[in-house]
Amino acid sequence: MNELSKVVNFSRFFPDDNAYVNTQGKFTKLDDWSVNLSIQSGPRHSAEFWAAEWNHAEMREQLLALREAVNQTLTFIDECTGQKAV
């Protein structure tokens, strides 16, 4: 049986704030995969989110909460600056 293989790799750097968003992951089979999301804002503020085949359920819930928080933050910024929300 052929195994599927999948890779995710995203990186964006923001030089003015020395900040970045980075995700890397690899899937080779159902019991051998992992993904890491790193976020840094400035030189001292960072967060890492890591999931693999054995610990993904709660991490997925955390990432869904993060998505909701990001959406609310963007809406707040748009309202405060008078920009139209995307």
Number of domains in the chain: 2
List Cβ neighbours of 38 (8 Å cut-off, separation of 6 or more).
Answer: 20, 21, 22, 23, 46, 47, 48, 49
pLDDT at res. 60: 92
45 with 3, same domain: the answer is: yes
**36 vs 27: CA distance, rounded Å:** 12
38 with 80, same domain: the answer is: no
28 with 49, same domain: the answer is: yes
2 with 13, same domain: the answer is: yes
64 with 43, same domain: the answer is: no
30 with 67, same domain: the answer is: no
Domain that holds residue 63: 55-86
pLDDT in tens, 13-61: 999 989 999 999 999 988 899 999 999 998 889 999 999 988 888 999 9
- pTM reported for the whole predicted model: 0.77
Instruction: Measure the CA angle with vertex 68, ends 16 and 64; round to 5°.
Output: 105
